[in-house]
Amino acid sequence: MESISEIRGRLNGAAESELPELIALYKADARSGVVKLAESFEKKLVALSKERARMQEMFHYERLYPEVNYIGGIDEVGRGPLAGPVVACAVILPKDCDILYLNDSKQVPEKKREELYDEIMAKALSVGIGCVSHTVIDEINILQATFEAMRQAIDSMSVKPEHLLVDAVHIPGITIPQRGIIKGDAKSASIAAASIVAKVTRDRMMCELDAKYPEYGFAKNKGYGSPEHIAALKQFGPCEIHRRSFIGGILGERE
């Protein structure tokens, strides 16, 4: 007779297509521990089925353009922080994309974002990154800096998109047809993928900058205005990468 640990190993090693038959077999076992184990795998299968259905909906906007070979999703991260750059990413996913759990990067746990980043980078047809510094943000304002980061992301792609799906905005200065989608990072798989890559890219940059400016806690707050960050800003004053146009009110300076 198989032990529970052996059954767990068999279930973990089984192909997804084999699981329903194995689950039915073990649910009929006389041991309650085996039945509970089988039921837990049954729940995982149900959850996986729901996730596949959700991802099917996440490709709704991509399916609106069946004649287009290369649809790019584009999003940015870092419009709100007090320090650091704004980062944009553009992603072209294959039409047969099988990546699950894509979503607005803010809704995805950090560990899962890192896993998805690797999967996106491995499976995407093309990925482009744009980055605009705190200095330029102060010079041209955050909205224009965001547009510039998006244009940089598009320009850096090895495969050029024929149509763009953009989170909320319309990017000026490009000739590629584009469609803005409100809350697009939660509605379009391509935009969600771009959101995740942009988030992971910027977070890694801020963690590196934390080593240079440890007093501000950039590894934890990523430059956003957390209470600890604001307290450090008041105590130590701004560092090189703070956005001067963002912190005048905090420091009591005139705009």
Region 235-240 average pLDDT: 96
pLDDT, tens digit, 9 for 90 and up, residues 71-87: 999 999 999 999 999 99
pLDDT tens, residue by residue, 139-153: 999 999 999 999 999
- The answer, yes or no, to whether residue 254 has pLDDT greater than 70, is no
Q: Residue 253: its pLDDT value, please? A: 63
148: left (phi over 0), alpha (psi -120 to 50) or beta: alpha
**Amino acid in the structure at residue 74:** I
Q: Which amino acid is at 187?
A: K
Q: Express each pLDDT in 196-233 by its tens digit.
A: 999 999 999 999 999 999 999 999 999 999 999 999 99
Tell me: pLDDT of 64 over 90. Answer: yes
- Average pLDDT, stretch 88-116? 97
- Over residues 173-192, the pLDDT tens digits come to 999 999 999 999 999 999 99
All domains in the chain, ordered by first residue: 4-58 (no CATH), 64-208 (3.30.420.10)
Q: What is the reported pTM?
A: 0.91
For residue 181, the cross-strand partners are 167
Residue 57 in tokens: 């909906």
What per-residue confidence (pLDDT) applies to 249?
87
Question: For every residue of the chain, which 3-state class applies, written as one string?
Answer: CCCHHHHHHHHHHCCHHHHHHHHHHHHCCCCHHHHHHHHHHHHHHHHHHHHHHHHHHHCHHHHCCCCCCCEEEEEEECCCCCECCEEEEEEECCCCCCCCCCCCHHHCCHHHHHHHHHHHHHHCCEEEEEEECHHHHHHHCHHHHHHHHHHHHHHCCCCCCCEEEEECCCCCCCCCCEEEECCHHHCCHHHHHHHHHHHHHHHHHHHHHHHHCHHHCHHHHCCCCCHHHHHHHHHHCCCCCECHHHHCCCCCCCC
20-34, 117-131, 218-232: segment of lowest average pLDDT = 20-34
Place 255 in a pLDDT band, splitting at 50, 70 and 90: very low
pLDDT band (50, 70, 90) for residue 50: very high
Mean pLDDT, the chain, as a whole number? 95
